[in-house]
């Protein structure tokens, strides 16, 4: 059976580190960076990229719309 794999792109400087994407991610892909971005926020990033299934839950719940999602069948 084909597996879906995803990949997200986070606009680091626009992310405000609210963490809502992290708690919405069903696979545990997202974590918050250990260093702040230019605005002083700990931005989100795909810490475990292999777990991403491209469901876009993170992107649709993001208040600032900083996430773009790609997915493909493997």
Partner 1 sequence: MKEATGIKEIIKPENLAYARTEVMLNNTLSYCPGCGHGTTHRILAELIDELGLQSKTIGVSPVGCSVLMYHYLDVDIQQAAHGRAPAVATAIKRLLPDRFVFTYQGDGDLAAIGTSETIHACNRGENILIVFINNGIYGMTGGQMAPTTIPGMKSSTSPQGRDVHSMGNPLKMTDIVATLAGTYYVTRQSVHTPANVRKTKKALRKAIEYQKLNKGTCFVEIVSNCPSGWKMTPVDSNKWMEENMFPYYPLGDLKTPSEQAEK
Residues binding partner 1 (CB under 8 A): 5-14, 16-20, 22-24, 29, 33, 37, 41, 43-46, 49-50, 52, 54-57, 59-65, 67-72
To the nearest 10°, report the CA torsion of 35, 44, 11, 3: 130
Q: Is 1 or 6 the residue whose CB approaches partner 1 more closely?
A: 6
If the CB atoms of residues 1 and 68 are measured against partner 1, the closer one turns out to be: 68
DSSP 25-56: -SS--EEE-SS--TTS---EEESSGGG-----
Using the minimum distance from each CB to partner 1, give the nearer residue, 1 or 63: 63
């Amino acid at each position: 059976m084909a597996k879906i794999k995803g990949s997200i792109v986070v606009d680091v400087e626009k992310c405000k580190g609210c963490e809502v994407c992290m708690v919405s991610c069903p696979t545990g892909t997202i974590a918050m960076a250990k260093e702040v971005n230019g605005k002083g926020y700990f931005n989100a990033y795909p810490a475990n990229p292999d777990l991403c299934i491209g469901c876009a839950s993170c992107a649709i719940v993001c208040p600032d719309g900083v996430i773009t999602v790609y997915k493909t069948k493997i």
